[in-house]
A and B are shown apart, each in its own frame.
Chain A
Amino acid sequence: MGNLSIVDQGLIFSLVAMAVYLTSRVIKKDDLTVEGSFGLGGAITAVMVEHMLAPWLSLVASLAVGALAGVCTGLSYTRLKMNHLMAGLVTTTACFSVSLVIASANKAVAEHNTIFGRITFLPINITEVTVLAVISLLMLLLVRKIIASEIGLMLRATGENPGILLHFGQSSSRFYVLGFTMANALTALAGSLFVQWSGFFSITGNIGTLVTGLASLMVAELLSKSIGLSIVIAAILYQSIFAATLMLGLDPVWNNLVKALIMVFLVGLSSVATKTGAGARHA
């Protein structure tokens, strides 16, 4: 079996991309809480796994703490009238301390029972990719279902024109809070999966989460305008960019430049494809 770590990490970070979609594209408030809630989900998971609690329970706990972080950001924005970026920053900063208190800065959980240890008749790498794919697709279906529901309509209206909610007798504040809550619950779930999959929690392990989520979402938008499988494919694609730069045999100091160039190349591909599509329609 080939190396599935690219797919695994892509599936995990597809949840972050969905979270960024909810805040940046649905309620249209960029959220910087992402890095904090990712770490928080990881921290609570590391401690629960270490104390032999049911690993599936840690997923629920991470959803809960992530949601709580989202509520904090949402209330800071709606009730305290804080700028949404500032609200996210404040919550992320607080999450950092909370994570440190919960799990300290490093914790090894590799030898403990995780959600990937349950399916004993499958090789571990197949178990990992299967479990992650099921969770990612379930979350995608859930997000799609919510977006298509009446609540989703209100969420989208909140992003497009919050004033219009008054005509429905609704307050936009509730839906801003709901949007932040859902997004951060998803992100914390990703943090939980990341810790269980990688076998360790590091307080700096959340570095780059927001960038990965945002970049994956942007790649997904090159593929399709609506949220769907494209977001999962894009997250895997972004991880493959990550991985391929490592393997080009260049001095490691060039890695980030190569990553940037590959991203430029992808955007260029999109531009060419758009022109080709337009040309085909005119012909």
Chain B
Amino acid sequence: MKKTPIILSLSVAFALALTYVYLNGQKPAAKSLAIVTTLSHPALDHVRQGIKTALANGTLKDVALIDFNAEGNAQQANLIARKISKDQHILGIFAIGTLAAQAMAKVEKTRPIVIAAVSDPKVIIADTKADNICGLSDSIDANYQIDTVMKLLPHIKRLALLYSTNEANSISVIKQLSGAAAQRNLSVSMVGIHEPQQIMAASLDACQKNDAILIPLDNQLVASMPAVIKATRSLFCAVITTNESPIHQGASLAFGVDYQKSGQTAGRIMEEIVAGHTTTRESGFIDPSSVDIFVNDAVVKEKGLDVDMNAAPNIVHVQGGAR
């Protein structure tokens, strides 16, 4: 067989060419910032947009932005992180979402990493001595969430917590929510979902057996909200999310962390760090500064839910998503 040497040499040449492109293909500007996103997802995309908006209107508007997306793949996240760590033109890195933050934290020990949309920053910096990481958490206090649900739905007796078993953030939040509910004598059932195909059946079952279902910050479920809403549409059961975007798709109630605003704050933190006005250590990790409560009036009316509209001062009324 004469095939092997020819293919072998062509392949090696091809590999060398690809490696050359990898190492030299994207010549960065003299000064640049990198944005690494874990995967495309409405909340994470809003953060990225917020960062870009803040930078475009701030002191770093002339600094080039290099955009990377790990597409939820750890192999890709590692390659991106190691590429960035070798690029001395990059002044700082934004890491959006847990996977991106984990991969960057491992390889970059000096330049500032501003993380955003990470529910539990301890997962990133646990056991590390790194003091070049700061940023914004997007977790909402569990006691606040349960209190607010009980105020908004005064007749609630049973609450289902719907979550993905493969998301660390969801699991830790679910445990906190469950504890908070138990302290308030609210009956809770936890419904874990392994795969997207289970979402409709699990939502339907949870909604039939409970007065409301609460969905924490969970990438898989937030991305699959249309399926949850479709499965539970005709049932007398409130669908509550801890993310704003599903309220416009037909969720009944939502807690809203403004991800655009988080991104803008992350952008401003980076500006301050690059200008030398602050350090990552001083910036630390920030919880969401304000949480809006969204009520979808059309869906509440359609489902006949008994919602106390005077339960909180920061209720935002939206329409849409109803049949």
- Asked if B7 contacts A269 (CB within 8 A), the reply is yes
- Asked if A3 contacts B2 (CB within 8 A), the reply is no
Which residues of A from 200 to 221 have beta carbons under 8 Å from B?
200, 202-208, 212, 219
Count A-B pairs with CB separation below 8 Å.
183
If the complex has contacts A105-B166, A276-B6, A277-B2, are A246 and B76 also in contact, measured as CB distance less than 8 A?
yes
- Asked if A205 contacts B2 (CB within 8 A), the reply is no
| Interface of A (DSSP majority class) | helix
The verdict on B129 contacting chain A, using a C-beta distance below 8 Å, is yes
The verdict on B31 contacting chain A, using a C-beta distance below 8 Å, is no
If the complex has contacts A223-B7, A239-B75, are A108 and B68 also in contact, measured as CB distance less than 8 A?
no
**Across-interface contacts of A281 in B (CB, < 8 A):** 2
User: CA A134 – CA B73 in complex, angstroms?
Assistant: 26
**Which residue of B is nearest A7, CB measured?**
B19
- Asked if A204 contacts B166 (CB within 8 A), the reply is yes
- Asked if B106 contacts A239 (CB within 8 A), the reply is no
The verdict on A112 contacting chain B, using a C-beta distance below 8 Å, is yes
**Across-interface contacts of B168 in A (CB, < 8 A):** 104-106, 202-203
- Asked if A198 contacts B74 (CB within 8 A), the reply is yes
The verdict on A199 contacting chain B, using a C-beta distance below 8 Å, is yes
The verdict on A166 contacting chain B, using a C-beta distance below 8 Å, is no
If the complex has contacts A108-B123, A109-B127, A246-B80, are A97 and B165 also in contact, measured as CB distance less than 8 A?
yes
Which residues of A from 235 to 268 have beta carbons under 8 Å from B?
236-237, 239-244, 246-249, 251-253, 255-256, 262, 266
Query: How many A residues touch B, CB cutoff 8 Å?
Result: 67
User: CA A106 – CA B4 in complex, angstroms?
Assistant: 43
The verdict on A280 contacting chain B, using a C-beta distance below 8 Å, is yes
Listed in ascending order, the chain A residues whose CB lies under 8 Å from chain B are 2-3, 5-6, 9, 13, 50, 93, 96-97, 100, 104-112, 194, 197-200, 202-208, 212, 219, 222-224, 230, 233-234, 236-237, 239-244, 246-249, 251-253, 255-256, 262, 266, 269-270, 273-274, 276-277, 280-281
The 10 tightest CB contacts between A and B, nearest first, are A105-B168, A252-B69, A199-B106, A205-B74, A5-B82, A106-B168, A244-B18, A277-B2, A247-B25, A240-B18
Can you name 12 A-B pairs with beta carbons within 8 Å?
A5-B83, A100-B165, A108-B125, A109-B127, A199-B107, A204-B167, A205-B74, A207-B73, A237-B14, A242-B76, A242-B79, A276-B6
